[in-house]
Amino acid sequence: MPPIISVQGLNKTYASGFEALKNLDLDINTGEIFALLGPNGAGKTTLISIICGIANPTRGTVTADGHDILTDFRQARAKIGLVPQELATDAFETVWATVNFSRGLFGKAPNPAHLEKILRQLSLWDKRNSKIKALSGGMKRRVMIAKALSHEPKILFLDEPTAGVDVELRRDMWEMVRGLREQGVTIILTTHYIEEAEEMADRIGVISNGEIILVEEKTALMRKLGKKQLTLSLREPLANVPDSLAAMPLTLSEDGRELNYNFDTEQEHSGISELLKELDSQGVEFRDLRTRESSLEDIFVGLVHGQ
């Protein structure tokens, strides 16, 4: 199947001269949940804005469901729902009017049954006659999602969907996003909650300084870059790692009281038994040991800083 979104050689230089996207290539597969991760200012919103036709590219091409976003803008845009990072709704309109109007903008015939379904899914049905200004922040965010879904898009962009959303509601939103994927909607989300990507995404893309530095299946990424660390709390502090252990991936804490041993989760042979034997023969005693596995967060921080 061809990618549902294809970005090729995309460049964005803002009027200020700042180059926010640098020759970026990215394909999004039909039906996947793709998490775009990157530090503040990396270019996530810029990329999404271009795909959704809110900002103009300086160079490069983008197609959405086969439609060029510049030459075939209306067709491309009709396939896309966008939940923007910044809330933007008319405070004095009701929830129902807002969502209904949004559907109309895409030239779709009214469909109260569809709107009722999404408002119920988002627990907004009881609020349908409330003015937006009378809603809480989390409810406003859900209205933005309802708006984005009003015209039955095949592709949904969620730019920081759960910023400022409480834990319970966040779980509900994850549930809803999964439900949408089951209905065949392709979802691209950005988030600063790495656990959200870890929980939800099929694939992860990492963007930094306007460049995609990695795209990988989540499970493969965690397997490949995942590390385990064994920490030994020593009985007596060491001044340095013993010479006979110098070849091993060991580091000593600053106070000399903890010895850290890094190993690969992929590796068949961890080397731990050799390490323990060698420590024993050197007379290095430890009083406690613990292991920890890296999370997607560790991997992400390592990637962005190691660039």
Ligand X SMILES: Nc1ncnc2c1ncn2[C@@H]1O[C@H](COP(=O)(O)OP(=O)(O)OP(=O)(O)O)[C@@H](O)[C@H]1O
Judged by DSSP in three states, 208 sits in strand
Q: Phi first, then psi: what are they for 66, rounded to 5°?
A: 85, -5
- Contact residues toward Mg ion (CB under 5 A) are 44-45, 85
Give the nearer residue to ligand X in terms of CB position, either 42 or 299. Answer: 42
Out of 4, 26, 42, 144, point to the residue binding ligand X (CB under 6 A): 42
User: Of 50, 8, 43, 51, which is closest to residue 210 (Cα–Cα)?
Assistant: 43
Do strands 211-217 and 203-208 pair parallel, antiparallel, or not at all (unpaired)? antiparallel
The one-letter amino acid code at 239 reads A
Judged by DSSP in three states, 53 sits in coil
Least CB distance to ligand X at residue 194 (A): 13
Total binding residues toward ligand X, as defined by CB under 6 A: 13
Out of 1, 16, 92, 283, point to the residue binding ligand X (CB under 6 A): 16
Q: Which does 84 bind (CB under 5 to 8 A by kind): Mg ion, ligand X, none?
A: none
Rg, the chain, Cα only: 24
DSSP assigned state of 225: H
Out of 6, 11, 23, 85, point to the residue binding ligand X (CB under 6 A): 85
Out of 7, 44, 102, 156, point to the residue binding ligand X (CB under 6 A): 44
Judged by DSSP in three states, 172 sits in helix
Give the nearer residue to Mg ion in terms of CB position, either 161 or 242. Answer: 161
Least CB distance to ligand X at residue 57 (A): 13
Left, alpha or beta for 2 (phi > 0: left; psi -120 to 50: alpha)?
beta
Give the nearer residue to ligand X in terms of CB position, either 114 or 140. Answer: 140
Q: Which does 18 bind (CB under 5 to 8 A by kind): ligand X, Mg ion, none?
A: ligand X
Q: Which does 183 bind (CB under 5 to 8 A by kind): ligand X, Mg ion, none?
A: none
Q: Is 57 in the site for ligand X (CB under 6 A)?
A: no
d(Cα 160, Cα 145) in Å, to the nearest integer? 11
- Per CB under 6 A, residues contacting ligand X are 14, 16, 18, 20, 38, 40-46, 85
